[in-house]
């Protein structure tokens, strides 16, 4: 029985899982939104929120902890402390959201976006397609394009 076993294994070894989670958080910090499977998003979410909690302390020790967890990716740690953490403001947790997208066509696995709740407005506007801005033009069918069934 797996009572009180919290770790989501994802069918990987410990070292592979740790690398996967760290790389997903690095991508989330750099791009503000990642598209992944729902299971991975649920596994990455607590790790990403812990990184923001560490970043809020803003000490040398916190920077070194973040560097250790994120495999010494200095650009991601710098971005975490300078861009992501200031956007959180006085929020008491809940820094990420998971948006379900439906199933992937190839293997029917559930897909989701994992994104920061407090995204910068310019980032969110740049990532969403402007469908309303493009006028739709539908040509009315003419007699020349109309075909009749074979006689």
Listed by start position, the domains of the chain span: 14-122
Rounded to the nearest angstrom, the gap between the alpha carbon of residue 20 and the centroid of all alpha carbons in its chain is 13
Q: Regarding predicted confidence, which is higher, 128 or 90?
A: 90
Q: Quick one: pLDDT at residue 11?
A: 94
Q: Quick one: pLDDT at residue 7?
A: 87
> Quick check: 80 and 29 in contact, CB under 8 A?
yes
When the pLDDT of each residue in the chain is averaged and rounded to a whole number, the result is 87
pLDDT at 143 over 80: no
Q: Which CATH number fits domain 14-122: 3.30.1490.190, 3.20.80.10, 3.90.1030.10, 3.40.50.1370?
A: 3.90.1030.10
Q: Quick one: pLDDT at residue 33?
A: 97
Q: Quick one: pLDDT at residue 140?
A: 55
Q: Quick one: pLDDT at residue 90?
A: 87
Question: What spatial distance separates the first Cα and last Cα of the chain, rounded to whole Å?
Answer: 70
Identify which of 112, 123, 59, 62 has the alpha carbon closest to the alpha carbon of residue 87. 123
3-class state of residue 49 by DSSP: helix
Q: Quick one: pLDDT at residue 38?
A: 97
pTM score of the predicted model: 0.77
Residues linked to residue 100 through DSSP beta bridges, in sequence order: 112
């Amino acid at each position: 029985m797996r009572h009180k076993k919290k770790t989501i294994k994802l069918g990987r070894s410990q070292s592979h899982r740790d690398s996967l989670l760290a790389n997903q958080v690095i991508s989330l910090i750099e791009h503000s939104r990642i598209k992944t499977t729902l299971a991975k998003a649920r596994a990455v979410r607590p790790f990403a929120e812990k990184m923001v909690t560490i970043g809020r302390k803003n000490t040398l020790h916190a920077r070194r902890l973040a560097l250790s967890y994120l495999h010494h990716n200095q650009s991601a740690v710098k971005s975490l402390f300078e861009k992501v953490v200031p956007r959180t403001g006085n929020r008491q947790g809940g820094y990420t959201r998971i948006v379900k997208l439906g199933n992937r066509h190839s293997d029917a696995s559930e897909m989701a976006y994992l994104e920061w709740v407090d995204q910068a407005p310019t980032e969110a506007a740049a990532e969403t397609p402007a469908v309303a801005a493009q006028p739709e033009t539908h040509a009315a069918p003419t007699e020349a394009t109309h075909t009749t069934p074979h006689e």
